Structure 1
Amino acid sequence: MEVLQILHMNKGNDETSYAQNSKVQRKILSVVKPIIDEAVQKMLCSNIAPIGSMGIADLGCSSGPNTLLLISEIIDAIHATSSCSTSFTEFRVFLNDLFSNDFNTIFMSLPAFYNQLKEEKGAGFGSFFISAVPGSFYGRLFPAKSLHFVHSSSSLHWLSQVPPGLDCQAAGKALNKGKIYISKTSPQCVLEAYSLQFHKDFLLFLKSRAEEIVGGGRMVLSLIGRSSSDPSTQESCYQWELLAHALMSMVSEVNT
């Protein structure tokens, strides 16, 4: 089964859900907030053609409190830049993630979000229309020239698929046996396969957004990086090592 059909964060709001275990991603949003504010300000104060409807997309939105927090921060940035000549009366907000994402939990929290928005910004600030757009962002998602601001956080390090060939046997041995990442024991061909897949995915992402964003629009992307050029260092692999051990243990239990 394809990755885009099965991959999702844990649903709901219980103790094992993504909603209750996404403090690191929330911290990333707080760090990036000044960059979002600056990007929105420059967009609204640029020579972008004034229109009544502004398109905003959050790609890889997942679910939980971080999703609407990001939308609130973008709205705050717009409100703080209201002195610029470009004005909008409607805001089209698109929340994107894979098909199995927990969009229902997001929708259930929208009434309270709308009420809070009216209290803080007033009824005259503009109308908001929030909708879900399920699908992979490694390809087109929106009509041409329909978006003004695009955001993606903690998502673009996920590849669209397992790099081709890694599940094949070479000399009777799996190329990256027992691993779901690049490790110290991974051969050079595994590193090259992951690198090639990332370049293909990221290029397709940029090409797709180039067709969807209007001239003068802005995009803010944040994704996991590393300080070393070596992809097998502990800072890059520690969490994947723990996950791999957990998965191998689960497989062993099923097979016993």
Structure 2
Amino acid sequence: MEVAKVLHMNEGIGEASYAKNSLLQQKVILMTKTIRDKAISALYRSLTPETICIADLGCSSGPNTFLAVTQLIRVIREESKSNDQQQPPPEFHVFLNDLPGNDFNTIFRSLLTEFYDDLREENTGEDGFDPNNCFVSGVAGSFYNRLFPSKSLHFVHSSYSLHWLSQVPDGIENNKGHIYLTSTSSASVIKAYYEQFERDFATFLKCRSMELVQNGRMILTMLGRNNEDLFGKGCSYEWELLATVLKIIGGSIEEEKMDAFNIPVYNPSPAEVKYIV
């Protein structure tokens, strides 16, 4: 079964939902704000477009969905006020992308209303900004494919999404007893995981290079590891813990199903990312 057809974060706003369990992801978005601010400011100064098209890839559904987008709009408003040409703030077209199973219903039933309410509360009218000139669209599909027309995006943002692979790597049938990479995984399994990440990330970059305008900007934040140690605690510990839990309750899960289950995730090192780029 294709990962893109089944993978999604827990929907809704209940206690087990992604919306209620995504503080770590929120912290990362806040930590990288300065980097995004510099990038979007540089873009606006160099291009000064009348409409800025922003894509958030892997938006999920919850309080983080509009967090980066709201920050980017604030920066552009400040830039437009200080613009020597006295140009009014641009219009915004925001694209929220995730896999088809994402809880887009919650985004457009409630979160979108909150987003516009926040824009209106901040709007004093002094800079000519009109919240109604911010248009939001949902785009369902894998970001390992083309999602937008050529040269249509000014800014691409993705946070805590690119460690997810497009599929479980081929050729890992001998990873029995494990659901991810472990210190006892064979060299062929380790190689298969890396090569899948390499193909996926290269494809992602190729697709975005076609969709971004000239001098567009892209900020990517992904879950990785500090060095070449594949099995450090920060990378595979949680999956080993999950594997242990599954073994404990193994009586209720068929062994064949356990052996066939592998997590489609890879946490790259800085060197691996640089090599692909």
Residues 63 and 102 of structure 1 are in contact (CA less than 8 Å); yes or no, is this contact kept in structure 2?
yes
Residue identity matched to 2:20: Q
Residues 51 and 88 of structure 1 are in contact (CA less than 8 Å); yes or no, is this contact kept in structure 2?
no
Distance 1:62 1:249 in 2: 31
Residues 9 and 17 of structure 2 are in contact (CA less than 8 Å); yes or no, is this contact kept in structure 1?
yes
Distance 1:142 1:248 in 2: 43
197-206 vs 175-184, greater mean Cα deviation: 175-184
Distance 2:240 2:78 in 1: 44
**Counterpart mapping for 1:200-239 below 5 A:** 200-239=199-238
Distance 1:142 1:122 in 2: 34
State the Cα deviation string for residues 94-127 of structure 1 (Å, max 9, x = none).
0000000001111122123212202213463141
State the Cα deviation string for residues 49-85 of structure 1 (Å, max 9, x = none).
x432211000000010011112111111212222245
The reply on whether 1:105 has 2:102 as its aligned counterpart is no
**Aligned twin of 2:10:** 10
Distance 1:236 1:2 in 2: 24
Residues 51 and 87 of structure 1 are in contact (CA less than 8 Å); yes or no, is this contact kept in structure 2?
no
Distance 1:244 1:137 in 2: 28
Distance 1:76 1:94 in 2: 17
**Aligned twin of 2:265:** none
Distance 2:213 2:88 in 1: 15
State the Cα deviation string for residues 202-236 of structure 1 (Å, max 9, x = none).
00000000000001110000011212311122221
Structure 1: stretches of 5+ with no match in the other structure = 168-174
Distance 1:95 1:251 in 2: 38
CA gap 1:10/1:90 in 2 versus in 1, 3 angstroms: same
State the Cα deviation string for residues 20-74 of structure 1 (Å, max 9, x = none).
000110110011000010101111112x2x4322110000000100111121111
TM-score by length of structure 1 reads 0.91
189-198 vs 88-97, greater mean Cα deviation: 88-97
CA gap 1:235/1:32 in 2 versus in 1, 3 angstroms: same
TM-score by length of structure 2 reads 0.84
State the Cα deviation string for residues 163-210 of structure 1 (Å, max 9, x = none).
11113xxxxxxx111222211000111111111000100000000000
64-73 vs 146-155, greater mean Cα deviation: 64-73
2:79 to 78, 81, 84: 81
Structure 2: stretches of 5+ with no match in the other structure = 256-277
**Aligned twin of 1:90:** 91
Distance 2:170 2:88 in 1: 47
Residues 93 and 129 of structure 1 are in contact (CA less than 8 Å); yes or no, is this contact kept in structure 2?
yes
**Aligned twin of 1:65:** 63
Distance 2:153 2:204 in 1: 15
Q: How many equivalent residue pairs? A: 247
Distance 2:153 2:248 in 1: 45
Task: Give percent identity, aligned residues only.
Answer: 51
Superposition RMSD in Å: 1.8
195-204 vs 72-81, greater mean Cα deviation: 72-81
Residues 77 and 89 of structure 2 are in contact (CA less than 8 Å); yes or no, is this contact kept in structure 1?
no
State the Cα deviation string for residues 133-192 of structure 1 (Å, max 9, x = none).
00000010001111001000000000000111113xxxxxxx111222211000111111
Distance 1:142 1:54 in 2: 14
